[in-house]
């Protein structure tokens, strides 16, 4: 149910320090491009909201730098390393074990956490009725007992190298099978009896044990290891900035809350089993079927409409605002009446009315903004603050010599200025003062969440009957 948005590097491209993205270039561009993987701890969507340990750390780093965060996803380590090496990403945000071989290719930040590698194996049949010692006797507790055992590990991972080293240490053969599947997929395969053994970081293994209580993760196969992020060799200013931030951040209450939230949360199992845990269900909300149906009628990607509805109501059909807007689509009473719904209308009708309103707004801007993709941002803004204020911002943009058909760095700039008397009292402004910052944030947040949805949710429109 997951689609991969990954770095699409040009294999012919040569990367040099001349086009290396270090901190000055990143700050100038106003965005940090980070690559991470999707799983139940690092990056996922639950109840319509992007979440995850790596995601929240990255968001806090971007806030510290006062720039925007762009997340790219891949569960293929080779692709992840290439993304950084080719300069398509600025940062690898994973639980990367620092190894000598990797240090030849990349520079690492100071550690963001520590863990050790453990063997993931199944408890014996009937383990629920056994004592702890009975369970232990049936499992591998001594690393020497891995002799001739078949252990599956992720390709290009530190787990593979660790098992090679362990093979040397025990002086015997371990049947090490490296596969493209990520650590969490392999853990699930152990739980489902598809394979017998894999290796994972202990913190990840412990989280997954809450989903799969038939797993045992007590047997360590490594000493404690530092986990860090990676930047390109030569991106010294970026690495130093992240290091300084991490040194302070790791000692903060904020970091402790985030770490405990993802690695020590008793609710982890219920979250993963929920129909709204997108990685396993492919579902954003309880209303996806209606969102897909009506988004098709306005020519929108259903994930974009879902992002708008989340922004408006968090998918709560009984939501109401201080201004009197109600329902999933947060329509004002007059707008709701115009499109034939009330606060008591079912969710399907609320979404139908909201999309008809979107279509009406789209028609209003069709002449001024001919590009349909660009027009989406204008429609979102008008949905939030009303079309009049957006037409005012278009007028001001053109009057001041900028492009009135582009939202970013053009019309959005003059919408922000509509809280300044110099601009809202302009003779060509018809609708006066507006809290432009709210609408600016609204558009940005809807579009940003839409990108997260595209990262992690396959576009599965309704099939024609």
* DSSP collapsed to 3 states, 32-88: EEEEECCECCCEEEECCEEECHHHHHHHHHHHHHCCEEEEEECCCHHHHHHHHHCCC
Residues 212 and 231 in one domain: no
Kindly state whether residue 347 falls inside one of the protein's structural domains: yes
Residues 133 and 159 in one domain: yes
Kindly state whether residue 52 falls inside one of the protein's structural domains: yes
Question: If you average pLDDT over residues 200-205, what whole number do you get?
Answer: 95
Q: Is the pLDDT of residue 463 over 70?
A: no
Buried b / exposed e along 223-244 (16+ C-beta atoms within 10 A): eebebbbbbbbebeebbebbee
Q: Is the pLDDT of residue 307 over 70?
A: yes
Residues 352 and 434 in one domain: yes
β-partners of residue 230 are: 92, 108
pLDDT of residue 458: 82
Q: Is the pLDDT of residue 77 over 90?
A: yes
Instruction: Give me the CATH number covering residue 313.
Output: 1.10.530.10
- Final residue belonging to a domain, choices 223, 238, 259: 223
Q: Is the pLDDT of residue 303 over 80?
A: yes
Question: If you average pLDDT over residues 82-105, what whole number do you get?
Answer: 93
Closest CA to 311 of 461, 454, 450: 450
Kindly state whether residue 258 falls inside one of the protein's structural domains: yes
Question: If you average pLDDT over residues 245-270, what whole number do you get?
Answer: 89
pLDDT of residue 269: 65
Residues 367 and 442 in one domain: yes
Confidence bin at 15 (pLDDT 50/70/90): very low
pLDDT of residue 442: 96
Kindly state whether residue 462 falls inside one of the protein's structural domains: no
Question: If you average pLDDT over residues 218-241, what whole number do you get?
Answer: 96
Confidence bin at 14 (pLDDT 50/70/90): very low
Residues 52 and 158 in one domain: no
Percent of all residues in the chain with a pLDDT value above 70, rounded to a whole number: 94
Kindly state whether residue 236 falls inside one of the protein's structural domains: yes
pLDDT of residue 20: 77
Residues 274 and 293 in one domain: no
Q: Is the pLDDT of residue 5 over 60?
A: no
Residues 91 and 155 in one domain: no
Residue 422: other Cβ atoms inside 10 A: 7
The two structure tokens encoding residue 24: 């000055």
Q: 118-168, pLDDT tens digit by residue?
A: 999 999 999 999 999 999 999 999 999 999 999 999 999 999 999 999 999
Percent of all residues in the chain with a pLDDT value above 90, rounded to a whole number: 85
What's the CA gap between 369 and 393, in Å, rounded? 13
- Give the chain's domain count: 3
Instruction: Provide the residue range defining the domain that includes 149.
Output: 117-223
Confidence bin at 9 (pLDDT 50/70/90): very low
pTM for this model (two decimals): 0.81
Token look-up 């492919």 returns 282
Whether 312 is catalytic: yes
Residues 98 and 159 in one domain: no
Kindly state whether residue 9 falls inside one of the protein's structural domains: no
Kindly state whether residue 103 falls inside one of the protein's structural domains: yes
Confidence bin at 382 (pLDDT 50/70/90): very high
Quote the mean pLDDT of the chain: 91
Residues 306 and 162 in one domain: no
Q: Is the pLDDT of residue 11 over 70?
A: no
Kindly state whether residue 5 falls inside one of the protein's structural domains: no
Residues 302 and 319 in one domain: yes
Residues 351 and 424 in one domain: yes
Q: Is the pLDDT of residue 55 over 90?
A: yes
Residues 310 and 440 in one domain: yes
Instruction: Give me the CATH number covering residue 178.
Output: 3.40.190.10
Q: Which of 56, 184, 241, 312 is catalytic?
A: 312
């Amino acid at each position: 149910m997951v689609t991969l948005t990954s770095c699409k590097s040009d294999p012919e491209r040569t990367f040099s320090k001349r086009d290396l993205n270090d901190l000055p270039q990143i700050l100038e561009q106003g965005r940090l491009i980070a690559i991470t993987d999707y799983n139940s701890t690092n990056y996922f969507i639950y109840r319509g909201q992007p979440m995850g340990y790596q995601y929240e750390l990255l968001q806090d780093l971007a806030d510290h730098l006062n720039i925007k965060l762009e997340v790219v996803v891949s569960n293929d380590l080779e692709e992840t390393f290439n993304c950084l090496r080719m300069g398509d990403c600025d940062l690898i945000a994973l639980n990367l074990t620092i190894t000598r071989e990797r240090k030849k290719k990349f520079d690492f930040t100071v550690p963001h956490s520590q863990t050790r590698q453990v063997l993931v194996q199944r408890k014996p049949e009937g383990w629920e009725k056994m004592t702890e010692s009975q369970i232990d006797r049936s499992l591998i507790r001594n690393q020497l007992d891995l002799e001739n055992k078949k252990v599956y590990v992720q390709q290009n991972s530190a787990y593979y190298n660790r098992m090679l080293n362990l093979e040397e240490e025990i002086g015997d053969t371990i049947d090490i099978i490296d596969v493209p599947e990520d650590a969490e997929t392999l853990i699930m395969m152990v739980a489902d009896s598809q394979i017998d053994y894999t290796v994972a970081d202990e913190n990840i293994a412990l989280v997954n044990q809450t989903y799969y209580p038939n797993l045992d993760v007590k047997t360590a196969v490594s000493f404690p290891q530092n986990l860090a992020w990676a930047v390109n060799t030569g991106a010294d200013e970026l690495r130093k900035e992240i290091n300084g931030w991490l040194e302070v951040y790791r000692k903060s209450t904020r970091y402790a809350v985030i770490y405990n939230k993802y690695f020590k949360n008793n609710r982890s199992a219920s979250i993963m089993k929920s129909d709204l845990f997108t990685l396993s269900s492919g579902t954003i909300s309880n209303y996806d079927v209606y969102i897909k149906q009506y988004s098709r009628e306005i020519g929108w990607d259903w994930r974009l409409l879902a992002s708008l509805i989340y922004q408006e109501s968090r998918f709560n059909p009984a939501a109401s605002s201080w201004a009197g807007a109600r329902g999933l689509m947060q329509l004002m009473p007059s707008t709701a009446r115009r499109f034939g719904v009330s606060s008591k209308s079912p969710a399907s009708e609320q979404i139908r009315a909201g999309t008809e309103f979107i279509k009406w707004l789209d028609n209003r801007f069709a002449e001024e903004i001919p590009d349909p993709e660009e027009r989406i941002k204008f429609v979102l803004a008008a949905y939030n603050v009303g079309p009049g204020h957006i037409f005012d911002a278009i007028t001001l943009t053109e009057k001041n010599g900028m492009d009135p058909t582009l939202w970013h760095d053009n019309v959005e700039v003059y919408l922000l200025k509509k809280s300044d008397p110099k601009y809202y009292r302009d003779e060509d402004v018809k609708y006066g003062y507006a809290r432009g910052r709210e609408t600016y944030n609204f558009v940005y947040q809807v579009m940003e969440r839409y990108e997260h949805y595209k990262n992690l949710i396959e576009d599965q429109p309704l099939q024609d009957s």
